[in-house]
Structure 1
């Protein structure tokens, strides 16, 4: 059930292609089937980081079973993906990780 939400002040030209690449990248970074990955994009948002509106991103990643031992590796993979796709300096990307309990996340009329 990985869910990736990218908030950025950058304009993304082709949403469908960008989302598809982020979906695959998220699946690969987490080692999970892409069939469970959901990606959302909020682009062209008014945002400031460190007092500047230079390109930036705030990324939310929720994934069942995400271990704190894995977040550094996943952070590198997701940051690199965003950097290459949107030309945002890696130092201007924040990622918030969340690992919900399986019984607190619904899908297909039930929970995981």
Structure 2
């Protein structure tokens, strides 16, 4: 785990290639094995930010055991740098929502991570 859901008003020419590149990048930035990374990218041409349709994004990250205030600062810097380079979205045209729901609140393999990793 983590799961990353990106919504952007930027049309991505080759979304599948972008998703694979984003998956590798997210694994590196979040220090998680790529085999557990899940990426979803949605193009929404009606996404506004600050009242305009200029390039913008919303990113929701759900991850266990590595979301904290200090790390989030670096994650934000790295991710916004990636989006600026790949999508042309500046760091003042989007939000990143960091969420660690806790092991008991995330299901996988017909159970929760609390049960998988032990209490």
TM range (shorter): over 0.9
Aligned equivalents of 2:81, 2:24: Cα separation in 1: 14
CA contact (8 A) 1:7 1:45 kept: no
- 1:4 matched to which residue of 2? 4
- Work out whether 1:21 is the aligned partner of 2:21: yes
Which has the larger Rg? 2
Q: How many residues align?
A: 112
Aligned equivalents of 1:78, 1:111: Cα separation in 2: 28
5+ residue gaps, structure 2, are: 114-119
TM-score (structure 2 length as normaliser): 0.89
Aligned equivalents of 2:22, 2:2: Cα separation in 1: 12
Structure 1 stretches of 4+ with a deviation exceeding 3 A read none
- Work out whether 1:68 is the aligned partner of 2:69: yes
**1:45, distance to aligned residue in structure 2 (A):** 3.2
> How large is the RMSD of aligned CA atoms in angstroms?
1.0
- 1:85 matched to which residue of 2? 86
5+ residue gaps, structure 1, are: none
